[in-house]
Structure 1
Amino acid sequence: MYDVLDPGRDQGRVYRALAGNRPSDVDRVAAATGLSTEDAARVLAELADLGAAVRTGEGWVARPPVRVMSDVLRAEEARRTALWRAGAELDELYHAARRDIGSATDVEPVADLTELFALTERVQDRARERIRWLDRPPYRSSPERFAAQESLQARRMGAGVAYRTLYHQAVYDDADLFASMTRMIDAGEDARVLADLPVKLVIGDDHIALLVPEPGRSALAGALVVHASGLLNAFCGLFETLWTLGVPVTAAEPSVRLSDRDRTIITLMAAGLTDEAIARRLRLSRRTVVRRITALLDRLGATTRFQAGVQAANRGWL
């Protein structure tokens, strides 16, 4: 829906052409936007599906921009509301857990970073069915510890333990972390990416969880071990809520030929990076990135970047 308002996108160009003219047919739209007749017809159909354009007896007309803007804002508000709801739920759960420390055996504080690393390994070693992970920066592990974690995860997946990891989009900003994620996906990890994650969280089966509620702080104040309880069930539910908001990533063999550059562009795009950020990361001009993204959206039949990420994952492009 956002592309309707972006003059750099096909949908945005066509919508502007309609908004600034009397009812138009496909040929006039194509001439005004520089698109082929086939592309103009396709984009008009997309705008109609989005409710941004209407075909009348006199030709195609644009819905009032204020209404289209309202639809865009409602969609964005719905997404933000879902994230805020998850964050508020998490905050409530965290404070409930802190109140329980000392009065119950369901919750324990984590003493230091060394203990946290040891507990993270123990949770994975003892899991028999699945590990669910919210992975976000900052990362305090050394390269050796990252390598050890990869080895442990590969071994546990080989033993039949399913890993579902929801990554913060910052994973794309670090070449080593991105490579690690890719290797884990190759090994069988089910991965998604979300623009932001509120906490670090590792859940082993339905028996235990490790929570770091304020990852940005230098110390581990507030880090908790949560054992099987109603509180743990609530954390599991929170993970599932955030999981539904993530963009799937896959390492499956692509069903069509896709260049490494295009695969990287669409992965970064789906993770929420702007055209400018992608251009800087790949050392390309913004114009080149915009042109490639437009072509990829056309191939995917997607109208938004999020849709493009989902479509690309489903087709095995990522």
Structure 2
Amino acid sequence: MGSAAEWAPCEDDDILVYGWIVETKGGGCSADRAASDLGLQPDQVAAALERLAGLGLIRTVQPGYGEFMAVDPDAVAVTLTAPLRASIRRQTEDLDRIHATIDRLRDRFLSRRPGIQDSTVEVVPTLEEVRAALNRASDKCQEEVVSSQPGGNGRIPEAMEEALGRDHALLSRGVRMRTLYHHTARFNGPSQAYVAAATALGAEYRTSYELFGRLIIYDRSLAFLPERTGSWGAVAIREPTIVGYLYDIFEQTWVRAAPFSDAAQDGLERVAKEIHQTIVELLAAGLKDESIARRLGMSLRTARRHIADIMDSLGAESRFQAGVLAAKAQLVNQPPLSDVESG
């Protein structure tokens, strides 16, 4: 009889032949007769009989006479799955040992400097360590996690899958989850799918044309900011005043943001027009291409394409002239931004 390690799902021919043996009670079974009754070729039936016999699903009644008897699949299942169950048990034991070792190593790692858990600022240098820190923070989170994810569509699939797993674990514990994306995320298929999946679990998403940067806050007590060098590292902040200040910035943006919906729902023309209007206002404020792209969560190439279209529609030969013409045409709805960036 085949073992679990050799197991392969039965083919359609196997199911047909097995059923035929059950119905005919195996009497006078021959490949030719089965082939005729089932509309199969004799070699197909012979191969199916061999596979069924190898799995122990049929047995010979009288050797040499081509008579078979069907064996109860549930009885066979016990034998087939026994090696697999034993393998799973061994792997589970190995997994438990690994987790126990990791727990001991974590205690050493977190105590590598006295009072690290109480330190107000901690640099987490690598992506792997950031993900580990986020997983630990998620496991301990009890009430709420809020985050700002500029762009909303730049994470790799593996990271998004891991994040969705964290989200599910949090939401299943009744933790409230709110996330801000740029409006441009509404044009992005992976972002739409991610938001749809997480929203179904109870998460809340809103979008804004401009965001203040990447941020994650757990229980209003632990905040993560990106490390300023542009690496995949992060900075963990526990100082209550700073965390509270960052939370207030999130809250102010959340109140003004719009519920997440894909661009097709909102109307592509309207969404595009609003993005166009925002770029006009940023041009009038004197921002450079890189700053506009960053603030709107789009690629530099996309931002420059929008800017070129705007300058062409205004008949402007320079960015400065575009801002002046936009102001004269009353295309700018808001006064110049107070935090104008120069780069």
Larger radius of gyration: 2
TM-score, structure 1 normalization: 0.45
TM-score, structure 2 normalization: 0.42
Where relative contact order (Cα < 8 A, 6+ residues apart) is larger, the structure is: 1
